[in-house]
Amino acid sequence: MNQLAYPQFNILLVDDEPSFLRSMSLTLERYGLNNILTCSEPQQVQSLMSEHTIGLVLLDLTMPVISGQELLKWLTEEYPDVSVIIFSGLNQVDAAVNCVKQGAFDYIVKTADQEQILESIKRAIHTQELSLENQALRAQLLSSELNNADHFASFITADPNMMSTFRYLESIAPSSQPVLITGESGVGKELIAGAIHELSGRKGPLVTVNVAGLDDNIFSDTLFGHARGAFTGADKVRQGLVESAAGGTLFLDEIGDLSATSQVKLLRLLQEGEYYPIGSDRPKRIQARVIVATHQNLAEQQQKGTFRKDLYYRLRTHMVSIRALRERLNDLPLLIDHFMRQACDELQKPYLNIPNALALHLQGYSFPGNVRELRALVFDAVSQSEQDTLNISVFEKLLGNHSKDVFERSVRFPEDQPLPTLTQLSKLLVEEAMNRSNHNQSLAARMLGISQPALSKRLKNMKEGEE
Ligand SMILES: Nc1ncnc2c1ncn2[C@@H]1O[C@H](COP(=O)(O)OP(=O)(O)OP(=O)(O)O)[C@@H](O)[C@H]1O
């Protein structure tokens, strides 16, 4: 199994008692925190800090040569971004409280129960992760360049909004927190999940599960696996997909359709980082980053009570929303060309010429199936093309059938405003068609459903009316 180093920075344990270091390391490792350095000689802390990427220091208060308090003072001055948790004996609580005043993240009495110790450490790690992400995000937003453009190569776009989404994704890729991807069906959410996985540099696999329509038993069995004899027919141990994704990414698609019972299990997995295979009372730790996607409006669903609020907030730690194709029409020419090439490669045909007007024509279509629909249309058109130019009859049929649909979707008159007159409306339509067609009169005339001479006459009348 791929053992992922977690957290992404080192945790440094400093105590002069080697036995405490050993038992503390074991406790942390049992809870999946394995990126640990130990130090029993406080005078070595300075060199360790400069040689490693340390994000959290667990510091004993009473040590010979250099005290915990002295080290804390040095750490808060030299490494103000590093969190320090103080370990103290029962009779040192006053001193420990003073340490918090000096900038320590927390103090823990050494005899406290493990849950309490871990809670504090997990909080410090979470705070540290958020602060690292904020720094990365700030750096990314200030730069207009992508550091890893290659990882986005399969997502064809020229949309400036998508470019800032890519920069955001670059900054959150190393994080272990979940990512929620929203957007209509077919906008490319799965492609984005793949890009986040690539960017994260995780060595393990990307494992995709579509959770729509899975009842809770199948959801648990698929994700968590089962022990031998867990139920009738379970004659072998089954490894769940959470385990298959160890060291990599678990991508849960259609998360908006998850049943209420499965939502509780997913929340526990994300919050506690552990799960139980069916029929087993030994918890396992998740070693994968979770990405989820949905075409549903989760914010609305949680308000209606069909999606758990706590799960929604946990999932939206990092969130990206991919716009519908009709809202980024500048991508049309690139996507048509990309899919034409893909289709020609698959069908072993030479590349085809694409009529210039095609993308302009398609701007009037609403693409309910988004990029997936455009891809299917272009593949269909390529397969029907016999000359060296793309056969556009597929698109013409589509525009004919849908022009009413498009019109009804996009035009709404505000009820509290007077209606425009027919003359005003026809002038607006003509202007819009001329803009969309880059002032190509025959194209604009086709969009308006009139002949080119009729359009020319209207334009002339409009001009005269202005003079
Ligand atoms: N920007 C893009 N560039 C190239 N191909 C794209 C792009 N967006 C989507 N596609 C292609 O369109 C198809 C649908 O994309 P994808 O499966 O990622 O959409 P989705 O949003 O996950 O859909 P669903 O919600 O139905 O699961 C895929 O074949 C994908 O490769």
151 and 298 in a single domain? The answer is yes
Is residue 209 situated within a structural domain? yes
243 and 275 in a single domain? The answer is yes
Contact 1, 286 (CB under 8 A): no
Instruction: Name the residue type at position 144.
Output: S
- 369 alpha carbon – ligand 1 mean position (Å): 10
Number of H helices, E strands in the chain: 19, 14
Over residues 317-346, mean pLDDT:
93
Is residue 128 situated within a structural domain? yes
Binding site membership of 256 for ligand 1 (Cβ less than 6 Å): no
Nearest alpha carbon, ligand 1 atom 30 = 188
Please identify, by atom number, the ligand 1 atom nearest to the C-alpha of residue 162.
1
Which of residues 268 and 137 earns the better pLDDT score? Answer: 268
Specify the range with the lowest mean pLDDT, choosing from 232-241, 341-350, 441-450. 441-450
Determine the pLDDT at residue 407.
45
In this structure, are strands 289-294 and 249-253 parallel, antiparallel, or unpaired?
Answer: parallel
Say yes or no to pLDDT of 409 above 60: no
Domain total in the chain: 4
Q: What does R_g of the chain's alpha carbons equal in angstroms? A: 30
**The CATH number of the domain where 331 resides is what?**
1.10.8.60
Is residue 2 situated within a structural domain? no
Specify the range with the lowest mean pLDDT, choosing from 111-115, 264-268, 281-285, 296-300. 111-115
Binding site membership of 156 for ligand 1 (Cβ less than 6 Å): yes
Contact 29, 22 (CB under 8 A): no
With a CB cutoff of 8 Å and minimum separation 6, the contacts of 49 are 12, 75, 78, 79, 82
What is the pLDDT of the chain when averaged over all its residues?
88
Is residue 5 situated within a structural domain? no
Please identify, by atom number, the ligand 1 atom nearest to the C-alpha of residue 183.
21
262 and 385 in a single domain? The answer is no
221 and 179 in a single domain? The answer is yes
Q: Which residue among 162, 335, 372, 379 has the greatest number of ligand 1 atoms within 8 angstroms of its CB, and so is best to mutate?
A: 372
Owner of token pair 């190509």: 440
Say yes or no to pLDDT of 448 above 80: no
Domain boundaries, position 462:
420-467
302 and 377 in a single domain? The answer is no
Is residue 4 situated within a structural domain? no
Phi and psi dihedrals of 350, rounded to 5? Answer: -70, 155
**The CATH number of the domain where 281 resides is what?**
3.40.50.300
Determine the pLDDT at residue 151.
86
Using 50, 70 and 90 to split pLDDT, how confident is the model at 2? very low
Say yes or no to pLDDT of 52 above 90: yes
- 374 alpha carbon – ligand 1 mean position (Å): 10
244 and 366 in a single domain? The answer is no
266 and 117 in a single domain? The answer is no
223 and 370 in a single domain? The answer is no
Determine the pLDDT at residue 4.
65
314 and 209 in a single domain? The answer is yes
pLDDT tens digits, 169-221 = 988 888 888 999 999 999 999 999 999 999 998 999 999 999 998 899 999 99
52 and 96 in a single domain? The answer is yes
Say yes or no to pLDDT of 144 above 70: no
- 68 alpha carbon – ligand 1 mean position (Å): 54
90 and 232 in a single domain? The answer is no
* Three-class HEC string of 77-143: HHCCCCEEEEEECHHHHHHHHHHHHCCCCEEEECCCCHHHHHHHHHHHHHHHHHHHHHHHHHHHHHC
Among 346, 330, 404, 410, smallest CA distance to 378 is for 346
Is residue 359 situated within a structural domain? yes
Over residues 276-295, mean pLDDT:
93
89 and 173 in a single domain? The answer is no
Determine the pLDDT at residue 141.
65
